[in-house]
A and B are shown apart, each in its own frame.
Chain A
Amino acid sequence: MSTSSDTTRRPAPRAASASESAHGTRLTLRDATLGRPDAPVVTGVGLDIAPGEILTVVGSSGCGKSTLLRTLAGLLPLLAGEITQDGRPLTGPGADRALVFQEDALLPWRTLRANVELPLAVKGLPRAERRAQAGTWLDRVGLADRAGHLPHRVSGGQRQRAQLARALAGAPRAVLMDEPFGALDAQTRAGMQDLLVEVLRGTGATVVFVTHDVDEALFLGDRVALLGGGRLTAVRDVPRPRDRSAHDNPARLALRRDVLSSLGT
């Protein structure tokens, strides 16, 4: 595969200051085998995710994207190899790595506000503080007027925005997103991508974003990882990430062609 001249430069325009990038976490997999004990899905994975980076993961369905994410979250133990967080072995789930699911992961008996307050309650924050912080996050994702609604009373896009607020409210050092916009229509989806970029600004969190949409992967990611055939086939740098005007940039178009053809085989 051809590597563009951008490859050597690690693009990190999001982590504007040193203190912000210090907030993100480094996640490293070495020669890892992932899957359920009786059914390994991906083998020989070597991946180093830098603090504050957005890594998108693409691949056809069933190729182990979700497995990779659950392993990073600490929900699935490794079958072989090594996984570390900032150099220390990663042993289980924790509040520093939040997970955003495709859909229906909000607790249906809690209002949107109460859902966003949940990670803060787990942290042991006093009620007034929880309420204030949850209100701020709901406001940032544009749900201030829906705060008192139950999840099934709002639209799918609004539910995903609430999930995003819930994940970020706990101030995690990594946000792991499992096709969070996969069930939304194209227009809502583009809006959600912009919103994601917007709310991530200033958090400095490392993001691993799984999607089956190549354009989404190329728009959001600093780097894009390709999964297929039970292996991690490539990790490519994306030129001018999170820049809507770059969609016809020649380097981006070449990368898009590469990614699509490698997914096709």
Chain B
Amino acid sequence: MAAGRRPFPRRPLPKAGRYALRAASPAAALGVWQLLTSLDIDLWLRFSQFPTVADVARAFAERLSGPDYWTDLTDSLTRILTGFLLAAVLGVATGVLVARSRLAEDLLGPVLEVIRPVPAIALVPVAILLFPSNEQGIVFITCTAAFFPVLVSTRHAVRALTPVWEEAVLTMGGGRWRILASVVLPGALPGIFGGLSVGIGVSWICVISAEMISGQYGVGYRTWQDYTVVNYAGVFVGMVTIGVLGWLTSTAVELLGRRLTRWLPRTSYDTGGRPRSARVAVTAVTAGAPGTPATTPKTEEARDEHLV
């Protein structure tokens, strides 16, 4: 190797360093918030009426010890999970159908394209008219919100499949269902998970809004109640709760997606800011002992999974 040329272009941070960085960013945000509110800063933006971090933390602690908080939490989670799972199944099924069948595309395409631009939350009146209970209406709205991102990304992913894969299975004597199970669904999975990640996000937006409008119990309902009785600290407790729940659920979707699409060659991912030595080790093992190398990529993967 030529002298003076550095073999590794960039020295990546050690793992502990990355965790510290990740912890430092929300801590800094909280610090700024506390400072602005406790000093009652009023410079065009007015922080004097704003609850301080300490106020919110106190209110949070009170909520956690009461019974309502956990009821709200489980209610919201039940609604979003039901709606989201329904949307995932319906979205993937419709997406595959529309991408694979011209008849389905002609029949469903126009209807879907007209409904798609309507914001799901604007369907509240429809939900109230259609469903006997509020509960079902909220699930309906959540489901509609997540349905379209899943549908669209599934349709694109299925259309983008390499034709050779299908031809190979056809010449093995495989029929329609075999192609669906062995080629279309696994091949479209990376795209489908793109849609699911977007879908879980808009699902949260819609479940919270729907709860604010028409719900009983639920994090959105509670947040709105607190606002109407001018309990601003309570409003912020609700927001933090929504934020944390949203983060946890989208991380879960992300991790599941990464697990199921582990077969993807992630070259661009590999060369990012990660310890290059790990890759060198992998290739060395691959070359040396052909029986064992499957374990090394796993640990590589595992290391990144807690850093989503």
Contacts and interface: CB of A to CB of B under 8 A. Distances in A.
A97 B178 CA distance: 17
B182 interface: yes
A145 B290 contact: yes
Given A107-B186, A108-B263, A75 B167 contact: yes
Interface in B33-63: none
B172 interface: yes
Interface string B175-199: 0001000110011010000000000
Q: By CB atoms of chain A within 10 A, which of B168, B172, B178 has the most? A: B172
Nearest to A108: B263
Nearest to B189: A109
Interface string A17-47: 0000000000000000000000000000000
Given A122-B172, A122-B174, A99 B286 contact: no
Contacts of B186: 107, 109
Q: By CB atoms of chain B within 10 A, which of A73, A96, A119, A123 has the most? A: A119
A70 B167 CA distance: 9
Nearest to A151: B263
- A interface bracket (residues with beta carbon within 8 Å of B): 20 to 34
A125 interface: no
Contact of B173 (A95, A104, A107, A108): A95
A96 B261 CA distance: 32
A105 interface: yes
Contact of B165 (A70, A94, A107, A150): A107
Interface string A117-138: 0110111000000000000000
Interface string B154-168: 000000001011011
B282 to A, nearest CB: 10
Contact of B167 (A99, A145, A152): A99
Contacts of A148: 294
A122 B294 contact: no
A21 B189 CA distance: 43
9 closest A-B pairs (Cβ-Cβ)? Answer: A95-B173, A109-B263, A119-B172, A99-B171, A93-B170, A152-B265, A145-B290, A105-B164, A122-B172
Interface of A: 70, 73-75, 93-99, 101, 104-105, 107-110, 118-119, 121-123, 145-146, 148-150, 152-153, 166, 170, 176
20 contacts: A75-B170, A75-B171, A93-B173, A97-B171, A98-B172, A99-B171, A107-B182, A107-B187, A110-B263, A118-B169, A121-B182, A122-B172, A122-B178, A145-B290, A145-B291, A146-B290, A148-B294, A149-B294, A150-B263, A166-B168
Interface of B: 162, 164-165, 167-174, 178, 182-183, 186-187, 189, 261, 263-265, 286, 290-291, 294
